Amino acid sequence: MAEHNELGKKGEDAAVKYLRQKGYKILSQNWIFERHEIDIIAEDDEYIIFVEVKTRSSSYWGNPEEAISKAKIKRMVEAADFYIKEKDIDIPVRFDIIAAIWTGRTFEIDHIDDAFLPPVN
């Protein structure tokens, strides 16, 4: 596995640990619909939460969340829509971003609740 893929996997694992510590129930990790992937699907008392995790080794080139494109958001929303229909979910949905920056010893986590709304077609 390439070094950046290993860092990404470790960042996702750190994000899962962070969410569990905050009381979230993890429903799925790396859930795939067609060619679209959702890094983490979680649940709290109010929402089903679809989480995109962006991991970087530093913030030198900008914050990790800035790397999430409109196309990525669109694909994530399409996958989330399929998940909701497949599981017959009838509670509110939220889209979060977790930015994980490796500090050399641990990950610095920035959790952005309700980071974006689904685009209007």
Give the domain extent around 21.
Answer: 1-66+92-101
70, 119 in Cβ contact below 8 A? yes
C-alpha count within 13 angstroms, C-beta hemisphere, residue 117: 3
For residue 67, count other CB atoms closer than 10 A to its CB.
13
Q: For the residues 23-39, what does the mean pLDDT come to? A: 94
| pLDDT beyond 80 at 2 | no
Q: Is residue 31 part of a domain?
A: yes
Residue 46 forms part of a structural domain: yes
Bridge partners of 25, per DSSP, are 43
Point out which residues pair with 106 in neighbouring strands. Answer: none
Looking at the domain assignment, is residue 115 inside a domain? Answer: no
CATH number at residue 33: 3.40.1350.10
Number of domains in the chain: 1
Burial class from Cβ neighbours inside 10 Å (0-12, 13-18, 19+) for residue 39 reads buried
pLDDT single digits (tens) 57-79: 877 677 778 888 889 999 999 99
Q: Has residue 118 been placed in a domain?
A: no
Is the model more confident about 117 or about 27?
A: 27
Q: Is residue 41 part of a domain?
A: yes
Question: Is residue 15 over pLDDT 90?
Answer: yes
- Percent of the chain predicted with pLDDT > 70: 93
